[in-house]
Structure 1
Amino acid sequence: MQHTTEPIACIFDLDGVLVDTAVYHYKAWKQLANSLGFDFTEAQNEQLKGVNRMRSLDMILQWGGIEKSSAEKDVLAAAKNEQYVAMIQKMTVAEVLPGALDLLTALQAKGIKIALGSASKNSSLILERTELAHFFDAIVDGNSVSTSKPDPEVFLKAAELLGAEKENSVVFEDALAGVQAAIAADMMVVGIGKAENLPGAQVVINDLSEITISEIEALRTR
């Protein structure tokens, strides 16, 4: 890859990478499904990783064999979000995932640009509650993009705001849709989770405590 002398830029997904909000999404969607007369499993919740709210609702209604009008879907999505926001209001720094704080601190100390690239429309609230907001030079989330992952828009916009070349941008993702989006953007990808769930990622780790800045920079030579 070119531009090896240029500094890298790091773009982080939020849910499942920096903080653990999956449990809150699960509880809120489960509550919604139960109110409609069917159940929603953790395995199904896994399939919603990286998927935006309305697409997630469509998938859940399909699993439940239920059809709703567009207006009814808007009401259901708003109800789910209300439940979810009530839960994340109580989030604390304790819910920052292992290694995230140390890595963000080290990147910032080295002057490496950091952006958020998330499908979440509640990212500002989550970053505020977990005291991570000050690390980010740019935030691109569900409020500022028109297409969701695996479309690369969120990561391309983040790199643009950082003034970073895409070949010098490293994405940190825990969802297949996110890895696919990073690949479509021609960026390097660090996968968080199990390798079999994240094909295409150059490196797969369990959490951010398992990677160093020098290892991130070395991705360009792969």
Structure 2
Amino acid sequence: MTLQVHPEAKALIFDLDGTLSNSLPVHVATWNKVGETYGFTFDPQIVHEMTGRPTIEFARHIVEKYNLTANPEDIVKLKQKAFWDSAELLEPVQEIIAIVKEYHGQLPMSVGTGASRKSAEVQLSELGIADYFDAVVSANDVASHKPEPETFLKCAQLMGVEPTACQVFEDGDLGIEAAKKAGMMVTDVRPHINYGEWDH
């Protein structure tokens, strides 16, 4: 069973981290760097549990979990800079990129991500796919993040397509829940992708 576009889909929406971009190893590595600075050992399970949430929520969770006195905003700045500086280590998820390239020009496409606007732009540029999408909705563009449906509903609005005619490709439980709440067709990409040693 390969990844397929639903015959009734009139627009495609892609999550970014773990769907278009195999970024989890880079995220874990950069969180480890943050841990070295602030004196804690990062638990990679946090990435899997919170995939789809904005970085500030990760930072707040980490402050609480490790009883840090640090300001979450300062942690976010350090984490994001470390991630952007490591962008060349990002790898495309070929199975998903193939769909993007095949349907470019045939169906409107957008990215709906919990990443910041800059992080999304850095990743899409590094992967060479920034020009394939009609819209990018980031954590900076919505008030309610995944698992709330706002990210995906905004994608549909920007593409001018009814939510029920949109197909979402996602690897995170929170994103899958958000797509279902939005009334969209959802494809969990995890069974179809080989992430290597960072398999979900």
Please state which band the TM-score falls in when normalised by the shorter chain: 0.7 to 0.9
2:109 maps to 114
List runs of 5+ in structure 1 lacking aligned partners: 194-204, 209-222
2:141 maps to 144
CA distance in 2, matches of 1:5, 1:104: 16
1:19-168 paired onto structure 2 within 5 Å: 19-68=21-70, 72-88=71-87, 90-91=88-89, 95-109=91-105, 111-121=106-116, 122-168=119-165
User: For the structure 1 residues 141 and 172, does the alpha-carbon distance in structure 2 shift closer, same or farther, using more than 3 Å as the test?
Assistant: same
Bigger Rg, structure 1 or 2: 1
Task: Find out whether 1:8 has 2:10 as its counterpart.
Answer: yes
1:218 maps to none
Letter in 1 for 2:179: A
* 1:49 shift after superposition: 1.0
On the 8 A contact 1:91/1:130 being kept in 2, the answer is: no
Letter in 2 for 1:112: L
CA distance in 1, matches of 2:86, 2:68: 26
On the 8 A contact 2:53/2:115 being kept in 1, the answer is: no
CA distance in 1, matches of 2:54, 2:165: 27
Letter in 2 for 1:159: A
Give % identity.
26
CA distance in 2, matches of 1:36, 1:29: 10
User: For the structure 1 residues 97 and 133, does the alpha-carbon distance in structure 2 shift closer, same or farther, using more than 3 Å as the test?
Assistant: same
Which protein, 1 or 2, shows the higher relative CO under an 8 Å CA cutoff with sep ≥ 6?
2
RMSD, aligned CA? 2.0
* 1:138 shift after superposition: 1.2
Q: Secondary structure at the match of 1:150?
A: coil
What's the TM-score once normalised by structure 1's chain length? 0.78
Letter in 1 for 2:168: V
On the 8 A contact 1:118/1:142 being kept in 2, the answer is: yes
On the 8 A contact 1:33/1:39 being kept in 2, the answer is: yes
CA distance in 1, matches of 2:34, 2:78: 8
